[in-house]
Structure 1
Amino acid sequence: MFKLLRLFVWLFGGLVVSSSEALDGFYTAGVAEFRPAIMGGTSQQLLEANLAGYLELMALGNGTTDIIVFPEATLNGVLTLTAVPEFTKLSLCEEQPGDDTEIAPFLRQLACAAREYGTYLLVNVKERATDKFSGANMIHNTNVVFDRQGAVISRYRKWNLYLEPSTNRTEEPELATFQTDFGVTFGHFVCFDMLFYTPAQDLVERLGIRHVIVTKMFNSELPFLTASQLQQGWAWSNRVNLLAAGGSLPQAGISGSGIYAGEQGALARLMMKDETEGQRKLLLARVPLDPEEEPMDNELLEADETTPIRLKLLQQPELKKFATWELPMVEGSSVDKRLCQEDLCCEFRIKWSPVDGGHNYRLGVWVGQRRYEEEQYSAIRLCGLFACSNSSVESCGLISEEQREQRVVFTELQILGEFVRRPRRLIMPSTLSSSHLYALQPSQLTWSMEELDNLTRIKMELRQPHSQLMTFAIYGNYFDEYANGGAGRLGTQLVLLITTLMMMHLIGE
């Protein structure tokens, strides 16, 4: 009966929602933090193990979800490719006359699971495709979306590739969206895309998408780009709901999933901070149809923890180029400090007291270019406070064994930044607490923006004392300001770590 009701709504009520929760202004979303099987079997055996894990998590949803999202690069590999249709009128669960014979059985099994549990389903696969112009074989990093009946309703092929030598880009970037029977239009992309204007900002700014999905296999980097920290800041500044599903390989520096409701903060999130073994876990949340509306259950029960950080973290490679000032670790200290670099000036007002020695901290301002891989760059403007393991700037973003349990209590912390206006940019709060490697929730800070003639004045302030800060910063990504050859290179540590991960995948294949 319920399935018939959904069908009726789909056919006759384009703006009518199908579930009682959606009628109340919410939908139920699930995102998976997923540890892929990467060693110990043939490529087919690894695929089957990953598929079994997907189906198990979907069963845990128990048919209560409106949409479930799985992360990037956690299902099949280059030896177990599948074709992915752009869309299908009927369910992919059963083979239809004229179907592409290269559609793999595992993709049909997932379509059947979407139908069995009555949920929209987004998964990321390695796709085999044929170039329509040259006829050449292509491999894409592809998101595919099934509706509640298992029909393919959206496909997206990753545009901003990151150390993926066997993967091809499309001729032009794609903007992928799909509509649901609960009144929401989603846009979606893959991992590294989040750091660039196309397609991520295009979806939000050009198409007006308010509900966004990202599939990730993300290497976290201190002080500003850990996974959940970036996800929450991105959702906050774009004022969108964000469903982020992440791979879980902490020994390779990969973890971070969550569901975020714009300026309302995280509804559910997970970082594998103190384990070397990844998890397979489904995070569930009731998500407001309007990202501006405060969720009913927005209070996350996350106790402070003093467990060590075992997640392998990268380090921002350009710290030597920052204009910085070290905070003296003296009891009852305070400072009013103004730091500038090029066209960015920031004012800091801080009061703090060290406890048991505490971390070292620096204030920093940076205007510069950031190189990620090959010819891909970001132009960054940022100002903030960040933790260091000793008094040198080179130690900022590093965590030493002896200082993991030591704290500094910040009783007052305010940053006022004057950021140059540009047509295409994203300026977001970048905060991080050592207790879980999560961003601060909205109840813990204030954020305001004032537009002037040629500047944006941003004020960011801590609402209450905090003793576990690792980062408290204003982070600006200026998408059009970069020049080839002018950016700093990623550190050797990053290249080695990502290469190691790729080799692990190849061994598994």
Structure 2
Amino acid sequence: MSPLRLVLWLSVFALPSAPTESPSYVAAVYEHLVVLNPNPRVALGRRAALEHMQKNLDVFEQQAALAAQQGAQILVFPEDAIQGFNFTRASIAGYLEAVPDTTEVTWNPCSERARFPDTEVLQRLSCMAQKNSLYLVANMAGIQVCNSTTDAHCPPDGRYQFNTDVVFTSDGTLVARYRKQNLYFEAAFDKPPRMELVTFSTPFAGRFGVFTCFDILFREPAVALVEELGVRQLAYPTAWMNQLPLLAAVQFQRSFAHAAAVTVLAANVRAANLGMTGSGIFTPWQEVHQHDMVGETGRLLVSRVPVLDPAMMADGTESTRLAWLPFSGHRRREPGLGEAGDAHGWPRGAWYLDAGGKPRSAETEHCWPGHENCHEAPAHEKPVEFHSVMMYDNFTLVPLQDTEGNLTVCDGSLCCHLLFRRSTAPSAELYALGAFQGLHVVHGTYYLEVCALVKCTGPDFASCGGETEHAQTQINFRLEGNFSTRHVFPGILGNGMVLDIPDESGKDSDGWVYMSRSGMTVGLVTATLYSRVYEKDNS
């Protein structure tokens, strides 16, 4: 089949420039190389456990001072960064501290040290926040004594052990406590008996929500904070193990911030041997981040970001721009893009709209499937479908066999469509368009619908879905799918873990969710529409 002479269709939407008076604040996150317990399954007494934790807290102290020197008003530390990981329920006992319920108790651990015994970690974190005059978010191992005669959920040993986030104000007051809801193979910890949506307020940026690591893949608490409580700023301690091509840490942090129209302050641990790295300060449209699988030092990131809490935003066009709705999509104007054509010299006149409002080539009868007057390619011209395992799920895929084209692949009721033009011949690097609809059951159970354009790791179909950070081929594309949910997370990953966002994303008049991107300056590793169908998680 001769290559289809297709070009990308981009709608143009002008966005106003940001006025200087737009409220903003300075945020910091620290990716920490954890000093680990070499024998985490062997129990330590309280004194030995404290000696271990103080080594990590010493580093926290240094980084808090550096963040404050750069004007940081809020600092987020990673999950498990104080005590480490891979403990058993018994062996973590010496690391546990009782964290009071901040909805019932007002307490400044630095100023009121004697009020609650055995709270040395809380006291040091509180003094750290107070000394540096910043809000501080950290993660630690918490304990709550319970009685099985009055609490049906109480564990047999008479205590809950929680993976716990704590938040301190700039004067050291403990202002929020969150207990991780969605555990990820954490034998040392219990799932809380009831789910809590936890927020805290600051004088410089308004309200923040807080949750931990694996929580980001579930409705509660992550999406519930955004949709039910209207939270637009999130503190996110994590200990995330990267898994390409779809779920590297910064890749999904970027996607979540863009799709949910929020700021995410993400602090990950650094453990290259476990594939752990990737932290950043993400707004819906920009980010400061780092991903380092080689280095053996921590990294502090500091950035000024706009306030997104609606209660703190002034009226005006800039507030309207910042307040676009979660999961509604986003449009931006590309530099040099005009009515006559796009920034790359491709005339928009090469496209016209069919009756359904879809772009259709004026030079071919091939168009978007499912619409009137749309003629499928002859059977002998259709690319062969194949299956390959990606992220432990069995995807249905079709290869990109031309330099430009129009492809569709389906899995169950989910269909994914791709319009593309690539910079290299198909023989240079193999790419494939994949679809998956179903229950993911490895390393967690959750229902997915995914459309993914991926660079394969080799020349064979079996290599499609493998992990790679590198690609040389630049691809201009529009990707869309007929998802059954609005919770779709667009993501674009370039060569060397370069993050990108779509030129456009949203839902068209037929209900298909789409994104488009043109003019990337690096090779494309992955472009994905990754959706979570939360209501089917227990199906």
TM-score (norm 1): 0.77
One-letter amino acid matched to 1:290: L
1:459 corresponds to 2:514: yes
User: Distance between the aligned counterparts of 1:182 and 1:399, measured in 2?
Assistant: 41
| Aligned CA distance change for structure 1 residues 457 and 324 (closer, same or farther; 3 Å) | same
Q: What is the correspondence of 1:56-71 to structure 2 with a 5 Å cutoff?
A: 56-63=62-69, 64-71=71-78
Please say if residues 209 and 235 of structure 2, whose CA atoms lie closer than 8 Å, have aligned partners that are also in contact. Answer: yes
Shift of 1:245: 0.8
Task: Quote the residue 2:365 is aligned against.
Answer: none
Task: Quote the residue 2:303 is aligned against.
Answer: 285
User: Distance between the aligned counterparts of 1:171 and 1:345, measured in 2?
Assistant: 39
- Secondary structure of the 1:32 match is strand
Amino-acid identity (%): 27
Q: 2:448 aligns with which of 371, 380, 404?
A: 380
Please say if residues 234 and 264 of structure 2, whose CA atoms lie closer than 8 Å, have aligned partners that are also in contact. Answer: yes
CA RMSD of aligned residues (A): 2.6
Q: 1:336 aligns with which of 406, 419, 426?
A: 406
Q: 2:487 aligns with which of 426, 450, 455?
A: 426
| Aligned CA distance change for structure 1 residues 138 and 22 (closer, same or farther; 3 Å) | farther
User: Distance between the aligned counterparts of 1:119 and 1:206, measured in 2?
Assistant: 28
Shift of 1:69: 0.5
User: Distance between the aligned counterparts of 2:124 and 2:501, measured in 1?
Assistant: 39
Q: 2:116 aligns with which of 84, 100, 115?
A: 100
| Aligned CA distance change for structure 1 residues 249 and 101 (closer, same or farther; 3 Å) | same
User: Distance between the aligned counterparts of 2:159 and 2:225, measured in 1?
Assistant: 29
Shift of 1:405: 6.4
One-letter amino acid matched to 2:141: K
Please say if residues 470 and 494 of structure 2, whose CA atoms lie closer than 8 Å, have aligned partners that are also in contact. Answer: no
Task: Quote the residue 2:165 is aligned against.
Answer: 143
| Aligned CA distance change for structure 1 residues 451 and 237 (closer, same or farther; 3 Å) | farther
Please say if residues 57 and 281 of structure 1, whose CA atoms lie closer than 8 Å, have aligned partners that are also in contact. Answer: no
User: Distance between the aligned counterparts of 1:380 and 1:462, measured in 2?
Assistant: 23
Task: Quote the residue 2:457 is aligned against.
Answer: 389
Please say if residues 142 and 164 of structure 2, whose CA atoms lie closer than 8 Å, have aligned partners that are also in contact. Answer: yes
- Secondary structure of the 1:139 match is strand
1:92-124 Cα shifts (integer Å, max 9, x gaps): 103356x22131x23211111111111010100
Relative to total residues, which structure has the larger helix share, 1 or 2? 1
Unpaired runs of 5+ residues, structure 2, are 1-18, 40-47, 85-91, 310-317, 323-388
Q: 1:83 aligns with which of 87, 94, 98?
A: 98
One-letter amino acid matched to 2:391: P
Q: In terms of Rg, which structure is larger?
A: 2
1:439 corresponds to 2:499: yes
1:113 corresponds to 2:128: yes
Q: What is the correspondence of 1:54-453 to structure 2 with a 5 Å cutoff?
A: 54-63=60-69, 64-76=71-83, 78=92, 79-87=94-102, 88-95=105-112, 99-103=115-119, 105-131=120-146, 133-134=150-151, 136-262=158-284, 264-266=285-287, 268-273=288-293, 275=294, 277-290=295-308, 316-319=390-393, 321-328=394-401, 333-354=403-424, 358-373=428-443, 376-399=444-467, 407-410=472-475, 412-420=476-484, 422=485, 425-435=486-496, 437-441=497-501, 445-450=503-508, 452=510
One-letter amino acid matched to 2:446: S
1:65-101 Cα shifts (integer Å, max 9, x gaps): 111000100102523222212225342103356x221
One-letter amino acid matched to 2:500: L
- Secondary structure of the 1:408 match is coil
1:49 corresponds to 2:107: no
Please say if residues 139 and 163 of structure 2, whose CA atoms lie closer than 8 Å, have aligned partners that are also in contact. Answer: yes
TM-score (norm 2): 0.73
Shift of 1:439: 2.4
1:130-152 Cα shifts (integer Å, max 9, x gaps): 12645712211000000111010
| Aligned CA distance change for structure 1 residues 396 and 356 (closer, same or farther; 3 Å) | closer
Please say if residues 408 and 468 of structure 1, whose CA atoms lie closer than 8 Å, have aligned partners that are also in contact. Answer: yes
Relative to total residues, which structure has the larger strand share, 1 or 2? 1
- Secondary structure of the 1:192 match is helix
Shift of 1:191: 0.3
Please say if residues 24 and 205 of structure 2, whose CA atoms lie closer than 8 Å, have aligned partners that are also in contact. Answer: no
User: Distance between the aligned counterparts of 2:500 and 2:192, measured in 1?
Assistant: 37
Please say if residues 405 and 419 of structure 2, whose CA atoms lie closer than 8 Å, have aligned partners that are also in contact. Answer: yes
Please say if residues 470 and 495 of structure 2, whose CA atoms lie closer than 8 Å, have aligned partners that are also in contact. Answer: no
Query: How many residues matched?
Result: 420
Please say if residues 25 and 205 of structure 2, whose CA atoms lie closer than 8 Å, have aligned partners that are also in contact. Answer: no
One-letter amino acid matched to 1:365: A
One-letter amino acid matched to 2:131: E
- Secondary structure of the 1:464 match is coil
